[in-house]
Amino acid sequence: MEPTYTSGPTGIWEQRWHQAVIDALNTWQQHLAITLVDQPEQAQVLLERRRPPLRNNRASHGRAELQLLEVQRQGRWQLEPKVTVMISPGQAQPAIQATALHELGHAFGLWGHSDQAGDVMAAIPGGKPILQLTDRDLRTLQWLQQQPGLTQPARP
Ligand SMILES: [Zn+2]
């Protein structure tokens, strides 16, 4: 995980983004083992402070993109997921936090959406920012953690 805030101009806008993203990370960290690393190459999830490019002519404040990379670990090549999360700084702090919480959910494997507007993983966000995981979000996470697959490290 790499919250990139060490380079570039510092200021109130950057601090606001940084704090919102850290708050979102802390929320997930209560339920997942998340390790922050200094080197972007080590990260499986990269956090970027920028507005995602338009997709189908539509603007959005956040996006998570999954790639499969072939990487060498202890002399063996294997496929690993790498997720780039883009979070726009151009929102109020609670909205940035809600966006980060949602997009990090994708990054941690929740690629589907909820049909309930009150959930962090709602397909269509409701009027106010959701800053806490709901019981439904947590049940989805638990279900995911019980599935075999990419979320578990490959055994030698
Ligand atoms: Zn989404």
156 alpha carbon – ligand 1 mean position (Å): 33
Instruction: Centre a 10 Å sphere on the Cβ of residue 136 and count the other Cβ atoms it contains.
Output: 16
71 alpha carbon – ligand 1 mean position (Å): 27
> Are 22 and 34 a contacting pair, CB within 8 Å?
no
**2-145: what CATH class?**
alpha beta
59-87 pLDDT per residue, tens: 899 999 999 989 888 899 988 889 999 99
Residues in a beta bridge with 70: 79
Domains of the chain by residue range:
2-145
Tokens 């997720």 belong to which residue?
A: 83
72 alpha carbon – ligand 1 mean position (Å): 30
Highest mean pLDDT, choosing among 4-18, 57-71, 96-110, 140-154: 96-110
77 alpha carbon – ligand 1 mean position (Å): 31
